[in-house]
Amino acid sequence: MSDTMWQAATLIVPLVLAIVFHEVAHGWVAGLLGDPTAREQRRLSLNPLRHVDPMGTVILPGFLALIKAPVFGWAKPVPVDARRLRDPRRDMMIVAAAGPGTNLVLALLGAIGLGLLARFTTDAAQPGTALLFLAANLQNFIALNIFLAVFNLLPVPPFDGSHIVEGLLPERAAMAYARARPYGLPIMILLLFVLPQIAPNLHIVDRLIFPPVQWLGSWYQSIAQAVAGPEMN
């Protein structure tokens, strides 16, 4: 298997899982807070076909990963009707935080899984392809969940961080902030792709996203090492 095929094969499943659980978490928490819209539209399902947007979930993130650009993507958004929530401003913040929070929990599970894999396979002198493939999937699962959590917490509409900021702002300021929502994706494209070409020394992604991603990555790595014991050091 070529390096490109190996990289794609070890990225697709972790990415789909991370995005699907992220979206289901939004709908599930919304249901707990009074809005059953996601359940009514049969979106509280782990079936990827109900959530995957072919371009946003598979093609674009895979392409970005292969060219070593910042990886981002999207799924079909789980519908949330703020009017049906018991406390719309507060509850929308909680619903928004549920997605990134779920990604961080998944990264923790991935770190534990990677540690257990190392602990129980240390006697293998030369790990087979299947074992290496599983380890690569777990490593990518951890990294992608961390990145998705941090990326989605950016306070740029329509990402989850924007809903949290909107709930924290005074009502008048929140309404003005919400009006920027249609321009969120063009703003992100400008920040991630256009601006680096114009002013490459700004390093916007490096300064905003990579520091928390790297810190969290080190923390999860320490958990994996603790689970594995001295074998992983």
* pLDDT one-digit tens code per residue, 147-186: 999 989 989 888 899 999 999 999 999 988 888 888 887 8
What are the structure tokens assigned to 139, written together? 């490593």
CA-CA distance, 31 to 230, in Å (whole number)? 44
| Catalytic residue annotation | 23
**For residue 199, is pLDDT > 90?**
no
What are the structure tokens assigned to 182, written together? 């249609």
Average pLDDT over residues 100-121: 95
Mean residue pLDDT across the chain: 87
Average pLDDT over residues 115-119: 91
Q: What pLDDT does 134 receive? A: 93
Residues 6+ apart with CB under 8 A from 106: 17, 18, 21, 141, 145
pLDDT band at 123 (very low <50, low <70, confident <90, very high): low
Helix or strand holding residue 145 (H, E): helix 129-152
Q: What pLDDT does 211 receive? A: 93
**For residue 10, is pLDDT > 60?**
yes
Query: Three-class SS of residue 90?
Result: helix
pLDDT band at 124 (very low <50, low <70, confident <90, very high): low
Cβ atoms of 97 and 160 within 8 Å: the answer is: yes
Cβ atoms of 86 and 32 within 8 Å: the answer is: no
Residues 6+ apart with CB under 8 A from 146: 103, 104, 107, 213, 216, 217, 220
CA-CA distance, 110 to 105, in Å (whole number)? 9
6 or 227, higher pLDDT:
227
Percent with pLDDT over 90 in the chain:
51
pLDDT band at 71 (very low <50, low <70, confident <90, very high): low
Q: What pLDDT does 130 receive? A: 84
CA-CA distance, 104 to 25, in Å (whole number)? 12
pTM of the model: 0.87
Highest mean pLDDT, choosing among 61-75, 161-175, 189-203: 161-175
Q: What pLDDT does 5 receive? A: 77
CA-CA distance, 18 to 141, in Å (whole number)? 7
Residues 6+ apart with CB under 8 A from 61: 11, 15, 71, 72, 73
**For residue 97, is pLDDT > 90?**
yes
**For residue 88, is pLDDT > 90?**
yes
- Residue whose tokens read 């599970």: 109
**For residue 92, is pLDDT > 70?**
yes
Q: What pLDDT does 69 receive? A: 65
pLDDT band at 100 (very low <50, low <70, confident <90, very high): very high
